[in-house]
Amino acid sequence: MWKSILYKEWLKLRWIILISTALGIMAVGSLFLNVQHDFLFMGAMTYWYNTLFLGVQYFHLLKYVPLVIGIAIGVAQYFPETVNKRIKLSFHLPINENKILLLMMLCGTTTLLVSFGSMFLLFWGLSAHFFPQEIVYGAIVSVTPWFLSGFVIYFFISLIVMEPVWKYWILYGLIGYAFIGLYLEPSTTGGYEPVVLKFALLTVLLSLSSLFSAYRFRKGEM
């Protein structure tokens, strides 16, 4: 049964995985083309000065990319389930309803992991090529909440799209906005170090949120 669910999710997500991963990799590539360009035209000394003392973040271009990918994957996965209340088809399958939703979420999360993972590794590798370890570490700490924000928005998209009552969409939207604001708060390079693990834990907890909308749907809220 789980193979069939994976198959359905694959049919919905296959193009968006390719496109979002390609765009993500292109964003990282373009970021380091800028770094290379600035190295050449500013000179390494000025570039280092800007990075170390003026707090210029060479990776700021990445800030909203995971967010956009999270939205795209969330919409691509959950919107086709809710048009004409098609989610009824899934809930009617001979498998526990929560299990279906968790499997769907696992598929979406894995897709994000693949997409973000390839971006993250490329970012790490290229950063290590251009910068010393201290700067790379600070950059990794800084971009981690941004990547986590991609997961958070994905979970909120699932919560909102599956919610049967439109008034709740606004409520969830506002809560989601407040949560994502935390992850994208401007900070100095590496400034998020004390809270990165807490953010990761919070993201895992938020992954269960769509079960609430599904429960409300099954109760017949409208």
Partner 1 sequence: MSNVIECNNLTHYYGKKMVYENLNIHVREGSILGLLGKNGAGKTTTINILNGFLQPRSGECLIYNENTQHLTPKTKARIGFLIEGHVQYAFMNIHQIEKFYAGFYPNWKREPYWELMKKLKVLPTQKISSMSCGQRSQVALGLILAQDPDLLILDDFSMGLDPGYRRLFIDYLREYAKAANKTIFTTSHIIQDMERLIDDVLIMDYNRVLAQKPVKEFMTTFKQFNFELLNADLELKKEKFIVNLEKVKNQIELYTYDSEEVVLNYLASNGIGYTNFRKVEMTLEDAFIGLTGKY
Kindly list the residues in this chain that would bind partner 1 in the complex (CB under 8 A).
1, 3-4, 7-8, 11-12, 80, 83-86, 88-89, 91-96, 217-220, 222
Q: In this complex, which beta carbon is closest to partner 1, that of residue 205 or of residue 219?
A: 219
Least separation in angstroms between residue 161's CB and partner 1 is 15
Least separation in angstroms between residue 166's CB and partner 1 is 16
Least separation in angstroms between residue 96's CB and partner 1 is 6
Q: In this complex, which beta carbon is closest to partner 1, that of residue 54 or of residue 83?
A: 83
Q: In this complex, which beta carbon is closest to partner 1, that of residue 45 or of residue 222?
A: 222
Q: In this complex, which beta carbon is closest to partner 1, that of residue 89 or of residue 204?
A: 89
Least separation in angstroms between residue 108's CB and partner 1 is 15
| 3-class DSSP string for the chain | CHHHHHHHHHHHHHHHHHHHHHHHHHHHHHHHHHHHHHHHHHCHHHHHHHHHCCCCCCCHHHCCHHHHHHHHHHHHHHHHHHHHHCHHHHHHCCCCHHHHHHHHHHHHHHHHHHHHHHHHHHHHHHHHHHCCHHHHHHHHHHHHHHHHHHHHHHHHHHHHHHCCCHHHHHHHHHHHHHHHHHHCCCCCCCCCHHHHHHHHHHHHHHCCCHHHHHHHHHHCCC
